[in-house]
Amino acid sequence: MSSFFGLGKTRTFKPRKDVPEGTKQYQLRKYAEATLGSGNLRMAVQLPEGEDLNEWLAVHTVDFFNHLNMLYGTVTEFCTPQECPVMSAGPRYEYLWEDGAKYRRPTKLPAPDYVDALMNWAQNLLDDENVFPHKIGVPFPRNFRDTVRTIVRRLFRVYAHIYSNHFDHICALGIERTSSAALCFPRSRGSI
């Protein structure tokens, strides 16, 4: 089995390269970073006037993926098949994996296997120029927003799992107050 996070397995994660300076995607990323630091979350996620919604969604989807990858990477030693035999977010939410290829039907997986399959699946979509075009002027596919919705919904499941099952680890590591964790983990032990 390949591993997205490369923990003693055959495949390691290759982070996405930043977009080149001067491109539209670079400008959108810089705008998003500036507004996130403002404390106004509504402004941070609002489409800037005159910008293409699909470009905006693409930039935020890639950033969400990258932030989640880093955050989950901090708890991989705690998120093991023995500790997390089910991909869940508490007792009421269990997630089954289906990708239409290797897993044609919803399949129960241990959380680390689910996350590995999800991150590999998402990385393949983000790298596919037919889904996420990297060149200006290349149109996005007609189903792009549906694809982004599916990616983000599935990625959020990992945040939910971390929050539900590994929040104490996040606190013990002292990273609950970091910008990406603070946005996702408002239940910190103390003020943010």
Measure the CA–CA gap between 23 and 63, rounded to whole angstroms.
16
171 annotated to a ligand binding site: no
> Which of 150-153's residues contact partners 24+ apart within 8 Å by CB, and which partners?
151/61, 151/65, 151/122, 151/125, 151/126, 152/61, 152/64
For residue 72 the two structure tokens come to 């989950």
Q: How many CB atoms lie within 10 A of CB 109?
A: 19
134 annotated to a ligand binding site: no
184 annotated to a ligand binding site: no
169 annotated to a ligand binding site: no
Tell which residue, 171, 149, 182, has the closest CA to residue 36.
182
Annotated binding site for Zn(2+): 79, 84, 161, 166
Annotated binding site: 79, 84, 161, 166
